Structure 1
Amino acid sequence: MVARTGRRRLVGTAGVAGLATLALGGCQTQVSNGYLPGAVSDTGRLVTDLWIPSWIAVLGVGAITWGLIIYAAIRYRRRKDDDGSLPVQLRYNVPMELLYTVIPVFMIAVFFWYTARDEARLVETNTKKDLTVSVVAKQWSWDFNYVDSNVHETGVHTELDGTTGKRAQMPVLYLPVNKRVQFVLNSRDVVHSFWIPAFIMKMDIIPGKTNGFQVTPTQVGTFQGKCAEFCGAYHSQMLFMVKVVPQNEYDQEMARLKSIGNEGLIPVNVSREEMVPGDIQKIPAPARTESNR
């Protein structure tokens, strides 16, 4: 009976190990990226390079901790010949207490240093840029000002009702590949968050405060963008598309926007009532304040 039970456990363990192997083999790319999206920007690569070693260290500590727990449970389990007496009681163990104090403090200090270093890199905006895009968030869409080309793209709320073709109605942000872009982020109404998951970078947009960051797209393609801060009834539908294209295609898009009358930049403090197609030129420029200098 005991032998049969042991065989069942062995077969069960082998089965679980086999399923785990198949699962890991089927998602090798995700495991290698720490289950993050494949990085298509320099910021994404920076975050991934911090994320993966951090999880390796944490999993190592977890394996050691669980190993010690399991070892103690098996090694010092109660046996049939135990007389019921308690083991030797110790009030303290200085070497062990020092070990349990020094190692966590050291790990936290290392995590803090690398996190602070990479966070400073992510929000640093003094690096020489190739172009500037002013992003204006609004309930529940986006306006994109291409500052260097003096043109804009205006977005309207795209209601997702289950029908096809809705993606084509979303505002599109064009970016040239391998060019450093500085995003200037402002909100026209409430708190939003500018998020491009494939870039592995997002930043809150707060009314009355200008935020910003720089990023270099490193891969041509079409990616999804969205608001990552609950901003009202249609927050989940505050979407946009990002097209990373070669420089010549980017220049063609800038020329197209100019040809259809999207010349000029949309001010941040425009009210919803003023955002009428064709009346962009009539909108007065915003007053110069500390937040938009």
Structure 2
Amino acid sequence: MQSKRVPPKSRIRWAALPLGLAAVAVLAGCSPTELHGFLPGFVEDGTPATNQTDMVAGLWVNSWLVLLGVGVITWGLMLWAMIAYRRRKGQTGLPVQMRYNMPIEIFYTVVPLILVIGLFAFTARDQTILETQTEDPDVSIIAIGKQWAWDFQYNGDAEDGSDAVWSMGIQAQYDGAGNVDESQLPTLYMPVDQTVQIQLESRDVIHSFWIIDFLYKKDMYIGKENFWSFTPTREGTYAGKCAELCGEYHSAMLFNVKVVSADEYESYLASLRAEGQTGNINDQYDRLSNLPGTGSTEGDD
């Protein structure tokens, strides 16, 4: 009895089914870390560091998946062309030259255009969300970059800054083995689950404010104020640094961020107030008060 021939399209569908099921099974077995592309900012249960972290990670991972798919198709077509159109034994001369294959030319013009427009649209959408500032944040902070450390001012309700408190930092201090003394790093405090707006300023050159686990950074300029609004969603200690080459000791321009409970945050502000670190810091200090690598405590005020 003659067997019935399976149509090519049916064969393709039956081949795609197990591949799709395998892909679903692989993705289902991925941890939150793997699903977020091994980016920082997430813990084992997938909780993000801020209300924006998941969105940034999604844009990054989905963009790479699309680009990887384009790469696989392109590499596959290249390999197929090398095998299918290779020179056979006994062949001489050049193969038949083809020109003006309009369907193919339209395909490789339109598809990349759609990809570029799509990537631009999703990036513009997410950037608009990231750059939208909270009109009435729960917490208002001024972060000031300087060669090569950070000052942080926690604003109150007074317009003249008279009820603000501040902390003044120095650059990273290293021991004999080259390890950073974490206890001496400038530390920025934030309350968890409260809206935060950070005003970014520079005292000298261009710096860049980068909290690594928050997956976002913004530049700091002299004479231009930048703002960043977000909500920390997980308590913990996060590393920060300057991401703009700003001079000889740029690598020592480090800081920490502590996201704490509301009570602990208020307790920290009270400790700064008790130490007399009140008022507006902006006009009080212009440059770093110690000289890197010398142990000197003399500097420009």
Q: Shorter chain as normaliser: what TM range?
A: 0.7 to 0.9
> What is the CA deviation profile of residues 85-125 of structure 1, one whole-angstrom value per residue up to 9, with x for unaligned ones?
43322121000000001111111111111111111111111
Contact 2:149–2:288 under 8 Å retained in 1? no
Which residue in 2 is equivalent to 1:124?
A: 132
> What is the CA deviation profile of residues 167-215 of structure 1, one whole-angstrom value per residue up to 9, with x for unaligned ones?
1011110001111110101101111110000101110001111111111
Answer 1 or 2: which has greater helix percent.
1
Q: How does 1:129-144 map to 2 (within 5 A)?
A: 129-144=137-152
Query: Structure 2: which 5+ residue stretches go unaligned?
Result: 1-29, 43-47, 157-162, 291-300
Structure 1 stretches of 4+ with a deviation exceeding 4 A read: 27-30
Q: How does 1:245-264 map to 2 (within 5 A)?
A: 245-264=260-279
Which residue in 2 is equivalent to 1:208?
A: 223
Which residue in 2 is equivalent to 1:157?
A: 171
Q: How does 1:177-256 map to 2 (within 5 A)?
A: 177-256=192-271
Contact 2:153–2:167 under 8 Å retained in 1? yes
| Separation in 2, partners of 1:132, 1:104 | 43
Contact 2:145–2:220 under 8 Å retained in 1? yes
TM-score, structure 1 as length reference: 0.79
Equivalent of 1:34 in 34, 37, 62:
37
Contact 1:154–1:171 under 8 Å retained in 2? yes
Contact 1:187–1:268 under 8 Å retained in 2? no
| Separation in 2, partners of 1:119, 1:268 | 33
- Identity of counterpart residues, as a percentage? 44
| Separation in 1, partners of 2:178, 2:68 | 44
How many pairs does the alignment contain? 250
Question: CA distance change for structure 1 residues 230 and 71 in 2, over 3 Å: closer, same or farther?
Answer: same
Equivalent of 1:87 in 89, 95, 115:
95
2:77 paired with 1:68: yes
Which residue in 1 is equivalent to 2:56?
A: 47
SS in 2 for 1:174: strand
SS in 1 for 2:281: coil
Which residue in 1 is equivalent to 2:3?
A: none
Contact 2:173–2:180 under 8 Å retained in 1? no
| Separation in 1, partners of 2:262, 2:134 | 23
Contact 2:173–2:184 under 8 Å retained in 1? no
Shift of 1:220: 0.6
Structure 2 residue identity aligned to 1:176: P
Structure 2 residue identity aligned to 1:197: I
Which residue in 2 is equivalent to 1:291?
A: none
Question: CA distance change for structure 1 residues 163 and 273 in 2, over 3 Å: closer, same or farther?
Answer: closer
Contact 2:148–2:288 under 8 Å retained in 1? no
TM-score, structure 2 as length reference: 0.77
> What is the CA deviation profile of residues 238-273 of structure 1, one whole-angstrom value per residue up to 9, with x for unaligned ones?
111100011111111111111111122201574338
Question: CA distance change for structure 1 residues 163 and 55 in 2, over 3 Å: closer, same or farther?
Answer: closer
| Separation in 2, partners of 1:131, 1:30 | 30
| Separation in 2, partners of 1:163, 1:83 | 66
2:108 paired with 1:103: no
Question: CA distance change for structure 1 residues 268 and 207 in 2, over 3 Å: closer, same or farther?
Answer: farther
Shift of 1:78: 2.1
